[in-house]
Structure 1
Amino acid sequence: MTKPATPMKKQQRAHYTDAYREEALLLAERVGVTTAARDLGLQPSQIYQWRTKAQQRKTVTEREQALADENARLKRQMADMAEDLAIGKKGGGVLRKKPEVKYAFIQQHHKAYRIRRMCAFLCVARSGYYAWRKRVDEASPRRRQQAETDQRVAEAFHHRKGRSGAPRLVLDLKEDGVSICRNTVAASLRRQGLRAKAARKFKATTHSKHSLPVAPNLLDQDFDTKGPNQKWVSDISYLGTDQGWLYLAVVIDLFSRRIIGWATSSRMKADLVCEALEMALSWRGYPTKVITHSDRGSQYCSSDYQRLIKRHKLLCSMSAKGNCYDNACAESFFHSLKVEAIHGERFGTRDAIQRQVFEYIELDYNRQRRHSAIGMISPAAFEARMIA
């Protein structure tokens, strides 16, 4: 008889790190408090409280009146630059495409950005764009239908930040009430020169050549679970910036594939993995007897991490020597992160790449990205469905 799924415990009051609060406030400044609160699963009052406390810690300095005109000019200039950056982030992939592809991009985003700015950024003439739009308007019904399909597919593609191919886009469009088969979506992507971000190999990070004690492999490549907080996997990876490496540690619940704990640092020490595990424990209400799996890295074998495991009555598990498949789920997450959010981008500072990591985990991966292991829905949607 199949054992029924373990019901999720009522979520306790979560503990948020200072870094998490800072990133949440930066997100609120960009998209608004209400939107940021909704996307992060917070109450608007929490963000307002964090903002008030942050403002109280800042020292307010007076600005000379003579700088007022200069500030106004700089603000206008920065607004133009911000619009160019936003256009570049969405339209960078069409810079080397045919003019028709660029015209289609401008048509898709003409309500969000000024046509003049988009034409300048994409190096096309406004007269050429308007001539193309006139030709499309006067085209045959079949061509108009094709143009409409291309627009919807392109909007879905850019909404997912170029991270989804035809299989996932079909599901996204279906949720929006647009029924298009996979072959039609794939043909539209080819026609527009749109391609999901490609895979790339990445090497391991942790140091496993040490003399510290190693835990047995309790997980043994059994990634199936009947409920939350039964099996967690952990790992560390590195992300490159002009300032140097930023190390990222994560904890994943295999039940929903959700990132329940994560931490970043400029140094790959034991406190990095401890901070990620403490976040996971706090977020999940401090469950016990959870199989907590990792590789044999020195950070996970350290006395600090092992004391944390024992204090919270977790079951420590480690991969077999030299076997990356034992921790495949964590490796898969880092692969997705680097391919979809890091590869092809240049980050001048660790703060910049940390902000990208924050948005990818908290906004994209946990709440929007479809995962094949849980029925092509997001981890948050999967957990909400199981709770209901």
Structure 2
Amino acid sequence: MRIIPVALIPGDGIGPEVVAEAQRVLDQVARMSGRFRFQYRSFDWSCQYYLAHGKMMPDDGLKILQDFEAIFLGAVGFPPVPDHVSLWGLLLPIRREFDQYVNLRPVKLLRGIESPLREVAPGEIDFIVIRENTEGEYSNSGGRLRQGTPQEVVVQNAVFTRYGTERVIRYAFERAVHSRQHVTSATKSNGLNFSMPFWDEVFRSVGQAYPQVKQELYHIDALAAYFVTRPKSFDVVVASNLFGDILTDLGGAITGGIGIAPSANINPEKRYPSMFEPVHGSAPDIAGRGIANPIGQIWTGALMLEHFGLMAEAELLIDAIEATLLDGVKTPDLGGRHTTRDVTDHIIQRLTAWEKAPE
């Protein structure tokens, strides 16, 4: 049996609640599979840790994490710690030091969820967004001069490398080869006159090696509109760090809300651990009330299973999520009256019923 060491960082707010529920589901999938089990170790790195220690994780935190095969994260962020402190103190160092240059987010309308878009049925929205995750607009480059004065100057540099741009675009094309063979690239080359023409050139250059794949370039403003007006037309979308961040939240909105959306921060070569986290935030307003939606965290667990090549187990888990939604078991954010634990219990019941069903 394969043993997969996983670092748990439950984090803040609803993070510990949904991570605990996802663990229960993943352990049930592992028991049913018999091919693997997860070996967990939990870390209390969070905003509470920051308030106690003045930092989001210990100085040797990255060294500790490098021995794991995956990091399973809940949510980070809680008042009074500023968001930029929590982000730059934990998530971004992990993504960059472990070269998690692919951020992968499915945009999929599950059965049992009604899209806010008219005349869109489950199965008709089903694509992925590949976001460059380590450079671009979120590069730690720039500064502020004469701060607080009328002459203040603020510079925020976007840094794009050919190496970084080529590899994430190539990853998108490889995903498309095994999907519906269609890649769409987000750009803004009519306004950002250095970085985006460069991005477009690399996209076209990499695309030459994939003549069988349909290739399209859209300006980000038009592409955002197309997510709403024709979401059925997409297969794989590739975007820079900032554009991908915005598009994926929009993708979550058209498929039921970011409360159920999963994401993966992947080092495709597996030289370092990859990190899996739901898109939702820490939601301090509902923390401790037992009504947080665990589906985003559980679906994120399915992405982790896929990363380890456990495709059948991942598909079974998504089927159980959809069956639960179809049964009407939903938390208040989806219009239901069930608790966090109710949803998890029903997903596990679905899995158990299938395990015991006669062939």
Q: TM-score, normalised by structure 1?
A: 0.28
Whichever structure has more helix as a proportion of its residues is: 1
Higher radius of gyration, 1 or 2: 1
Structure with more relative contact order (C-alpha pairs < 8 Å, separation 6 or more): 2
Q: TM-score, normalised by structure 2?
A: 0.30
